[in-house]
Amino acid sequence: MTIALVKRPLRLTLHPQDVLPEGMSWRLHEGYVRSSTWDPEGEAITLGLWGPGDVISSEEPMLQPLELQCLTTVLVEHVELSSDEQDWHLRRERQMLAELHAIQRIRSGERRMLALLHWIGRTFGQVNSHGCRLSLSELNLTHRNLADLCGLTRVTVTKILSRFRQEGQLVVVGENDLLLPKLP
């Protein structure tokens, strides 16, 4: 009689600020993760944001150091990527990096912040006939995180978000959601 052992993939539940183990690929089932590196002065540089359904990897990183930090409580499962999946993941990673880089190159801080909010809304929010609804609290994106993403200071981000609310460019919906109204 032979007993077959079923190899189960490693599943982890991690908490905000935890870092995913290095040198592995993960399928994100719940929660949000930020990939980042540091500049020579030790300032964090956000390379991407990942949400449910995404595959994230620190296998053979293009930049060293590379850290995959949990923004929220996450549930991840270790995956072995085929070469096609690795190619797809790299294309997705490059696309996200290019989009974030383009946002960071916008000269006006207000336009940069608005472009970042629209990117977050398209990527992680809900687009409807009224505009784009997003939840910064669900992603656990603080004003400091937003500042890191778009190359502004936390104080500037707070002032810009307040101004956007006053001008109606950003509408508080419900307890924790924001709406970026559709432009006429």
Tens digit of each residue's pLDDT (9 = 90 or more) over 63-115: 678 899 999 999 999 999 888 888 888 898 899 999 999 999 999 999 999 99
Written as six digits, the tokens of 63 are 């930049």
Rounded distance, CA 184 to CA 181, Å? Answer: 9
- Assess whether pLDDT exceeds 70 at residue 2: no
pLDDT of residue 51 exceeding 70, the answer is yes
pLDDT tens digits, residue range 17-45?
999 998 899 999 999 999 998 888 888 88
pLDDT value at 184 more than 80: no
Burial group, residue 60, by CB count within 10 angstroms (0-12, 13-18, 19+): exposed
Q: Where do the DSSP E strands lie in the chain?
A: 11-14, 25-30, 33-38, 44-50, 55-57, 67-70, 74-79, 126-128, 131-134, 171-173, 177-181
Cα–Cα separations (whole angstroms), residue 103 to 67, 106, 126, 175: 22, 6, 20, 28
**φ, ψ for residue 42 (rounded to 5)?**
90, 10
Q: How far apart are CA 109 and CA 80, in angstroms?
A: 41
Residues 48, 97: contact at Cβ < 8 Å?
A: yes
Mean pLDDT over 49-61 rounds to 87
Residue 161 token pair: 């978000």
Q: Is the pLDDT of residue 6 over 80?
A: no
